[in-house]
Structures are given as structure tokens and as C-alpha cells.
Amino acid sequence: MLRILGWLFGFGVFCALAGLAVGAVYLSQIAANLPDYTVLKDYQPPVTTRIHAADGTLLAEYARERRLFEPIEAVPPQLIHAFISAEDKDFYSHHGISIDGVIRALRDNLLARANGDDSIQGGGSTITQQVAKNFLLTSQQTWDRKIQEAILALRIDSTFSKDKILELYLNEIFLGMNSYGVAAAALNYFDKALYQLDLSEMAYIAGLPKGPNNYQPFKHPKEAIDRRNYVLDQMLANGYITKAEHDQAEGEALNVTPRDSGAQLYSAEYFTEEVRRQLSTIYGDDQLYGGGLSVRTTLEPKLQEYARKALMDGLVNYDHDTGYRGPVATVDPSGDWGPAVAAIKPLDDVPEWTLAVILSTGSGSDQIGLRPGNDVEGKLLPDRKTGTIAAADSKWVGKKFAGLKTGDVVYVEPVDGKPDSYTIEQVPEIEGALVAMDPHTGRVLAMVGGFSYSESEFNRATQALRQPGSSFKPIVYSAALDNGYTPASVVLDAPIEIVNTDGTVWKPDNYEKDFLGPSTLRRGIELSRNVMTVRLAQDIGMPLIVQYAKMFGIYDKLSPVLAMALGSGETTDMKMTAAYATIDNGGRKIVPTLIDRIQDRYGKTIYKHDE
């Protein structure tokens, strides 16, 4: 009997040693293929690049993952307590893995297997394990990956401080609504900085890692509130908040205020897009969309608004002179006309106008229904607002006002001093651009590249090649003044014939179709005389004028033909503005700039336009 017991004991020891050996070999193989966790020391998460106006106004943000890195020292302690309560209450006491969590996970998974469910029911992951998974591993649900995660968690915990682990976790975790990290979530959900969050908001954000889409506040409002309340319950149980704080936060509504991620100044879209293109050219898309650059531009918001209004008014007034062309669209105005009008997308960067459908026509006055808006969930608002348009308020439409029909959809703008009264508008067919620049520094204070960025992203200030015409003449006169002429020099203003190389004859003429005879240089530039300019260019030579045009930055290439003296070449509004700034600056070349300063993610200045 003793011999049998001894044999059984020996066999048991052998099996145990064999099992340990097999386990050791398995763990050594798993450990041999682990990624290098020390890279976390130098980890730089993709961070949002932010574009600011000269006064600090936020113009735009660019990111593939909307993230704002927040040092752990700047994270409110109450928010840390909320995450620990929701995700890992023993975070400060365990060494990377939680024994209680592992036991719970084993129990849940064994019960699932007993019921025929082979899926992993939960891994009991600690915050440290989540860092290991999110930074170094995949989300594949396998036992091998879970064991790798546990080994890495032990190593990470022994190498990094708890604060460093939390910093990595809180800045990397995905929290829904394209929010990566707690700082981005605070902005995207509540339009607040972290320090502005109240307890209810912190608890909601802390409850999101488990499944952001499951607690989306608009699609699943009840689940969102329940999850927030669960976090509050855990914070109370862990002693982080009092009963009074718990009850007050639990009784609050979840007032989610989604933050607009587009251009923050509706009149500056062309400007910010030009800055984006320049940053992409200088630093590349990876830095632009993940480098966390802070860009201070030259734009003055108030001047930008003035510039946009000046260009818009000029284009609209010119277009009014061409007459009314017809409605934007036609819909059925019977019944609920709201959805039909709402389906027509307006220009979202012309807030002065709105779309409206003509509901009924009358003698000199029509009733209209204004396009309804959407709520924060994107659902159509139930209210239907109406108004009137009168022929007296839309005189530019003229006789065509009587031709308006029910169902016509048109742009309208409120009439000052007349409640519920509107005037008809239409998108101009003509386009233009405007650049306002400091002539001493080249700083672009305002830039508008067209009537509407929503309609056309083509920037006519920087991309459109146009003939400068008579605005090029000062360059010709500058070259003359530098080469022997004075304002009192006399040039003949009389008919001239130029024989071209192909034998054809060019007879330049003045706009007024008259000739003044011998006239001073000063008079020639004041009256913008074409023939005098051609004679002047013929005398000093087009090669010299070409050289001056290049020095002023107007052209990169220019054919030395006399017609170019009258501005028949092609250049941009930006280049012409810089050339005039150079003239105003005493001839010192001005290079236009849209960017004052660029800082990297750590606040170090890496670019200044005047250095």
C-alpha cells in the first residue's frame, strides 16, 4: 500500500513538474514575442493642431484623432477618482494586475464555457493592462493576447510611476465622438476645459471607456444617465465623494453640448485653408494632423469681417444690376413644406441669408416659409416660421417679381426695421477676392478668396491667375524713375503703331479714345494713359521692366513684349498686393505672410515669420 501511495505521489510530482515545465516553456515563448514596453517613455500621441487668429481667437483644428495632451498634473483629482472608481478601484495598490479581477474573469469565463459560450466574457483588465493593450497590443480576443497583456502590465508597473501610467491612459483612451483622451472629450461633449467640468460631467466621461457608442447621449440617453450614476455610486462607495455630492450630481440632467470642429470664424475659411496648405507643405500631413502644433496667424478677426462684407456687398450689388435669374429650386408647398425645403443645402457661410419657399403670391407681396433648422441630434425642428417678401423691398428684381410662383425656393434676407419682412437675394455669378496687408511687414491682416467657401473652395486671392491690367503700370513707372526719368519728364501721348514679329500691327489706345499730346510722367500715371505707358516701356526696354516685375514678386516668368506693360500677363491678387506694399515700403521687398509664429506640442517656438 505504501509502495502504491509512493508511486502515486511520485507520479503526481512528475505531472506537476511536467506541467510547470510546459507552462514555463509556453510563458517563455509568449514573453519572447512581447513588444518593447520601454518605448512608452518617449511616446508622443497624435495631438490636434490648432490655428489661432492674431488676437488668440480659435480659427480651426486639424486632427485625425481629436486629442489635446494634458499632463497628469493638470488633470483634476476628482476626474482621476472617477476613472479609478469606474475602471480599476485598486489601481494604486496592485502591481499591474488585479487578483480579484482575474478571479472574477476566470469565474465568468468558466460559467460561459459551461453554457456553451466560447467568447471571452471579460478580462478583469486593470488600467495598466489597458495601457499595455492600447499602446502595444491588438484588441484580438485570445488567451495568448490576455497573457501577453498581463506580463506587460507587470513590467510597466515596475518601470513607470502610477502617475505616468495614468497620464498615458487618460490621454490615449477613445471616448466616442472622435474624442481621444479626456481633454478632447471635455471639449467635444461639454465644450469645456477639464478644470471647468462639474462632478456629473466627470462621472459621465469616466463611464465611457466601457463602450462609448453604448452610452451615446443622443441615441441612448437613458443608458448614458445610468452609466454616469453607476460611476457616481462607485465614487461614493470608494469614499471619493460625499452623499450630498453624490445626490446632487445624480439629480442633474446630462447637458451635452457638442462642439463644432469646423472653422470657428465663418468669414475666415479661405484664410485658414491657405494656412493649412502651407503647414502641410512645410511639415507634412503627419505633423499637421498629429503634431499638436499651435499656430498664431496674422489674421485680425474684425478686419476679416469688414473685408468679407466689403467683397460680398460689392459682388451682390454688381450681380443685382444683371437682374434676377430665377429660383434656387422648386418644391411642392402643400402640406408640411418644411422637410422639402430643409433637404436643400444652403450656403452655410452666408448666415445673413436663409432659404425660403413661396407659399402664396399676391399683388406686390408674397408669403414665404423659412427653411427649418435641426436640433443637436440632427432632427428637423417642428417649428415652421413664415414671413413676407414685397416688391418694394426687392426693387432690383424688377418686373420679374410678378413672375414668382408658389413652390419657388429663393434666398432671402431680413429687412431692417420690418419684422417678418424679407428681401430676395441670389448667389452672384461674378467672383472676386480681397487682400488686406500691413505694407511694412507683409502680415496679411485679412483675406477673402471668393463669395462663399461653401460654394467654392478655390481661393481667388492666391490661386486664381488674373491679368493685373492698369494696376501693373506703377511698376513700369517705377522702372522709369529709377533709370533717368523724373515726374516732370515729358512723354508723347499720341497714336502709335507697333509692328509685331509676324508682321501684324498693334495700335494701343487710351480708354477715353483721346490723346493729350506731350504730357508729364506725373500726369500719365495719374490718368492711367495707355499710350504713354507703351512709349515709356518702349524707351526703357521691356527686359528692364521684366526684371522689375520679378523683383517686385509679381511674375515668376514674363515675356518681354510691349503688351505686358499694360498688364496683359497673369498673376495673383496676393502677389499684386505685396508688390504695392513693396512700393509703399520704399522699395524694400515685402514677402506676404499668414503665419506669425508656430509652437510645437511642448510650447517651444519653432517658427517666426520675422526671423
Active site amino acids? 87, 470
- 540 membership: H or E segment, kind and range: helix 530-540
Alpha-carbon gap, residue 84 to 185, rounded angstroms? 17
Contacts of 16 (CB under 8 A, 6+ apart): none
Handedness of CA 372, 375, 381, 387 (dihedral sign): negative
| Contacts by 242-251, CB closer than 8 A, 24 or more apart | 245/199, 248/199, 249/198, 249/199, 249/200, 249/203, 250/200
β-bridge partners, 331: none
Cα 157 from chain centroid (whole Å) = 38
Neighbour-count burial of 525, counting CB atoms closer than 10 A to its CB (0-12 exposed, 13-18 middle, 19+ buried): buried
Spatial contact of 210 and 220, defined as CB atoms under 8 Å apart: no
**What are the two backbone dihedrals, phi and then psi, of residue 237, each rounded to the nearest 5 degrees?**
-65, -30
Angle formed by the axes of helices 182-190 and 162-172, nearest 10°? 40
Name the residue among 439, 563, 426 with its Cα closest to residue 501. 563
Reduced to 3 states (helix: H, G, I; strand: E, B; else coil), residue 513 is: coil
Return the half-sphere exposure (C-beta side, CA atoms, 13 A cut-off) of residue 48.
26
Cα 272 from Cα 395, distance rounded (Å) = 37
